Chains A and B, each alone.
Chain A
Amino acid sequence: MLKMPALDEGVLARRDRIVADLRAIVPGEGVIDSEAGRRAYECDALTAYRQMPMVVVLPSTTDQVAQVLRYCRDNGIKVVPRGAGTGLSGSALPLGDGVLLAMGKFNRILEIDYDNRVVVCQPGVTNLGITTAVQGDGFYYAPDPSSQIACTIGGNVAENSGGVHCLKYGVTTNNVLGVELVTIDGEVLRIGGKHLDADAYDLLGVIVGSEGLLGVVTEVTVRILRKPDTARAVLLGFPSVEQGGACVAAIISAGIIPGGMEMMDKPAIVAAEAFVHANYPLDVESLLIVELDGPAAEVEELIGSVEEIARAHGAVYARTSESEEERLRFWAGRKSAFPAVGRIGPDYYCMDGTIPRRRLPEVLRRMYELADSYGLRLANVFHAGDGNLHPLILYDASKPGDTERAESFGADILRLCVEVGGVLTGEHGVGVEKRDLMGAMFGEADLAQQQRLKCAFDPGGLLNPGKVFPVLHRCAELGRMHVRRGELPFPELPRF
């Protein structure tokens, strides 16, 4: 059972008053306190965890956000920011005694500036919405999470979202140049902008990926890129996972950074083929989609190199897309892998660890051993270029104990990722899902230092408490130093 911060009974007792005060800041339908209205916000895409928020607030101006946050600070009320609620780690899980600050009304693109290659927009604009706004002129926004049709840029900033093209083009943090951030004190800060580097401390760098724990973003400036001339994909099948993995390493060793490089194992191939009929070969153990994009001359050259490398590494199936339609069909199976696996589930739980790629065969073998010992089925899709695994655990939530087994299995997988030198999450965030596993990756000193940084932004600990960090400490406690005055030890230390 997930342990969340203790409910503040004092706040709950003042709920009616708080709702009235918030209505004075955000009039009309911007404050939702009815049970039915709040129900829509009780979870994000990690649906295993649900909690009704005390009240939902939908501000429409930066000034309202500032007033709401200042009010919450003055009255000791917790705040959970939320974008579209597509996050997979429970970062936007409400708190029963907290305000859920839903940023959906911030849905306007403010400026398209081709001369500086940026788009300035409000955080509630969808990821795909940015690309849609500029694609007519041949541009796009590079990070492309699978949920891009629904997820918002504000949520992407909070989670530092990735996508299939991030090996070559970077994740959110590499593509955001500035934000307007409202602090819990209600101060409106402009951090970064249209210029290319930070003036002093790179605060933007820690705000991106901070999962709503440092402030609320009310405006985002993103870099846009010119769409590559050409994109072609190669579909490669291998008789073993090892050979597929070795081919990936060889492609990168040859100096090729593909636009996308995805791997699927047999259970995922079979499920995807049954679902979308992408013409995937069914007699292979691993399938690789390698997409080359860029100037036509370069793509032509690189496709030849990739095909050659694949043959040398034992590929038993190779097909290069000859049309845009065929390229999209190659991707259709991969992009629908989650729902495809979901069909044979009936439920699935998606994990998100990253490992050093060379450990892939061992990690896959041990994951399947774990699957056997838990009596659960598993399918694997994998951002092969950067080592980001998405194991999908199949379970049946209607069976008693199955959900708990799936969660326990998932935690074992993530611990395995850390054990081989990897991390708990490559692109989905920690949220509540991996919160209690943070100790597997970070020591106490590491976590305390991260929390001290939070204290610099939010000394009262009111922004999204209960997420990311397994144990909540008061800032005063974290700031205390145990100093021992005296002579410098290490008398042998060289000094001049």
Chain B
Amino acid sequence: MRRLRRFFRTPEAIAGALILGLLVAMALAAPLLFPGDPQAIAGPALLPPFQDWSLPLGTDRLGRDMLAELFHGARTSLAVGLAAAAAALLIGAVVGTLAGFAGGLIDEVLMRISDAFQTVPSFLLALAFVSIVGPSLGVVVAAITLGVWTGPARVARAEVLSIRERDYVAGARVIGMHPLEIAFREVLPNALPPVLALSSVIVAAAILTEAALSFLGLGDPNRVTWGGMIAEGRAVLRTAPYLSIVPGIALVLAVLGVYLAGEGVVESTAVRRSLP
């Protein structure tokens, strides 16, 4: 409770929580409010917003309901963002713990692999991966994960390097625990907090990368995505710019909400208070 109250102290954190709440509500409500295929034709093509109250945000080039697409797009963005972040944190924590705890050659090899992933532009890697394996939601998540797991791996390794010298780790060794058991049951859980602090940045990056991939036509073709909607509206940018602008605003708000909420969490848990 106290932590919750501390979180809601700053206006930024409140705004972030509100935006995130709205996003989650949109994602959950999408199949209830707009059952059926959001990519089906719902009315006349290129209906401007606020003209027909059954289609409040109007329709796109093919007469699809923009509001329904926006709601279903929230679902895709959120799903990809959360799944990619969860996968990246898991892989990063495991690799970082192994590297930091084992040391020596294993550490060297794992860290050089992580360097290699950081050297290749992650968006190019995602592009190549999706274009080779073929676009589907799982592949997009995997492609994004490839580019973001190195951050958590580095943070976890640095944390593990300091934890493995602690007395309780020596104690676990003395009572004869298997090194892997020590690494994953004693060290990893204690190294997690700074790794988890990265999650908002990773979710935001994943949402943005997914949008950029779909914008280039490499999203899951069977799902509505905000990036795909922006690309769709681009063909009529001169006459109907709102088709690209509206989903873009949704994207900006979603990412901003993730950042603000993340900052709120970090600030409410940080020992250091804001400036004197």
**Bound pair: A and B?**
no
